[in-house]
Amino acid sequence: MPDEQQAFPSVWTRPRRQRRDQPALSREQIVSTALELLDAEGIEALSMRKLGTRLNAGATSMYSHVANKDELVELVVDEVYGEIAVPEPGAPADWRADVVACSHSMRSAFLRHPWVVSVLGESGVAHLGPNMLRMTDAALALFENAGFSLQAADRAFNTLVSYIVGISTSEAAHLTALARSGQDEQEWVERLWPAAEQAVSAYPRLRELYAAQRGQSAGGARDDHFDGGLACVLDGIAARLKD
């Protein structure tokens, strides 16, 4: 049951428990092992019991750091956000290059840990962690450097994140399914292609698109798709800057 003084049930709002003796496990050990488990087996596999087995530790050692599985997920999600690199603002005219670099880093982090996109919408998971806050503050500085007001920078960044999370969710689901099947992405695409071409044969626009994409590397096509969509998003954001 949450502490009566805790305004919101989150690991970030609950005071860290004080222990006189040195705990057998550190929070860093718990988070690192949980991240390994999630990357290997997915969010469905995560449980406090399974994590305890991996750590060779009892519940008491873990619960001195996290009250429950929800708090554990908050910690691990923030660990992923800590992998996102945001460049220092450069020349104002180069703001798009800085934002593109940040966007690629965010997408890469999400695809390294494909389970993460399935929990980003859960209340409290992403918004209060220190890595998330540092990343957001640094990203807002990129837009302010371009000339946006702080409020406009916030809207621009939220729009950008919505695009990255949306496209990464689809990519992560695709790559996770491939990993579970043991199939190589390029081989899977080549085997699927004849059926895909047959399916779109009656639809001229799709037929033309598929014909243009024939022979591309699967990973390269995903990269091009991401970059093309990102350019559209940034074109729209840049247009607002001129208003």
Query: Per residue in 194-204, pLDDT tens?
Result: 999 999 999 99
Non-local CB neighbours of 80 within 8 Å, separated by 6+ positions: 35, 109, 110, 112, 113, 116
Asked whether residue 32 falls in the same domain as residue 124, the answer is: no
Asked whether residue 69 falls in the same domain as residue 33, the answer is: yes
For residue 150, the domain's CATH number is 1.10.357.10
Q: Apex CA 77: angle with CA 82 and CA 30, to 5°?
A: 95
Q: What is the pLDDT of residue 4?
A: 47
Higher-confidence residue of 62 and 129: namely: 129
Q: What is the pLDDT of residue 1?
A: 41
Non-local CB neighbours of 139 within 8 Å, separated by 6+ positions: 86, 99, 102, 157
Asked whether residue 4 falls in the same domain as residue 39, the answer is: yes
Token output for 43: 């969010």
Non-local CB neighbours of 66 within 8 Å, separated by 6+ positions: 11, 27, 30, 72, 75
Asked whether residue 113 falls in the same domain as residue 50, the answer is: no
Asked whether residue 72 falls in the same domain as residue 87, the answer is: no
- Residue 237 confidence (pLDDT) above 80: yes
Minimum mean pLDDT among 19-33, 125-139, 212-226: which range? 19-33
Q: What is the pLDDT of residue 25?
A: 81
What's the mean pLDDT in 19-29? 70
Give the number of domains in the chain: 2
For 79-120, the pLDDT digits (tens) are 999 999 999 999 999 999 999 999 999 999 999 999 999 898
Record the pTM: 0.87
Which of 53, 80, 107 is the last residue in one of the domains?
80
Domain that holds residue 177: 82-242
Asked whether residue 19 falls in the same domain as residue 68, the answer is: yes
